[in-house]
Amino acid sequence: MTVETRRRQIEDVASALFHENGYAATSIRDIARALDLQGASLYSHVSGKEDVLSAIVDRAAGRFEASLAEAEARADVDGSSAADRLAAIVRAHARLVAAEPELASVFVTEWRHLTGERRAAILARRDAYEARVRAVIADGMAAGQLAMTDVAVAAAFVLSAVNGIATWYSPAGRLSPDDLAERYADLTLRALTEDHR
């Protein structure tokens, strides 16, 4: 097994344990045990628990950023409206949370356990992600496609709703990640579209 494969394996196992029991309740010894390793042997690959978390958080953030960029790039090619672009972003985000709840719980919750520069770096990436969502909502409002609303509140409302999928969704249930993503995109567009009641 290459060093890289081993390192990735450590991250996958740690990610599952963090998701199931939380970062604070998971020890380096728990991670070693799940890999059938001695703690000392694990330390030849990683310098500590926060080091593993940081690698996992980086990877999770990268996946969400790539998914967002892809949704936006596809919308650009289609010449879509801001409303379509928002739907595409929500669809991609919801699909990723439903398909990979561990990734989502790391990006949404467990990053809080990082400290110092690592924490500052992930906060900046999370803020940049949310800023993209706000910008699309603001574009849609400016173009008259979305109702005038409090952009920051609307973005928080939508992102919380979509991130919540990680807390209840089961792929064994009646909805596929794609079905769910479609419904979430619909609810979002309605919530932000001009009110005709």
Binding residues vs a copy of itself (CB under 8 A): 21-22, 24-25, 147, 149-150, 153-154, 156-165, 167-168, 175, 180, 183-184, 186-193, 195-197
State the minimum distance, in angstroms, from the CB of residue 70 to a copy of itself: 23
- CB of 7 or CB of 138, closer to a copy of itself: 138
> Count of residues for the chain?
197
Asked if residues 28 and 39 have their Cβ atoms less than 8 Å apart, the reply is yes
User: Is the dihedral angle over the CA atoms 90, 55, 105, 103 positive or is it negative?
Assistant: positive
Distances (CA, A) of 83 to 156, 159, 191, 194: 17, 16, 12, 11
- CB of 55 or CB of 187, closer to a copy of itself: 187
- CB of 45 or CB of 84, closer to a copy of itself: 84
State the minimum distance, in angstroms, from the CB of residue 109 to a copy of itself: 8
- CB of 5 or CB of 174, closer to a copy of itself: 174
- CB of 89 or CB of 165, closer to a copy of itself: 165
State the minimum distance, in angstroms, from the CB of residue 8 to a copy of itself: 26
State the minimum distance, in angstroms, from the CB of residue 160 to a copy of itself: 2
Q: How far apart (Å, rounded) are the C-alpha atoms in residues 112 and 93? A: 20
Tell me the residue type at 76.
D
- CB of 70 or CB of 178, closer to a copy of itself: 178
State the minimum distance, in angstroms, from the CB of residue 44 to a copy of itself: 27
State the minimum distance, in angstroms, from the CB of residue 6 to a copy of itself: 27
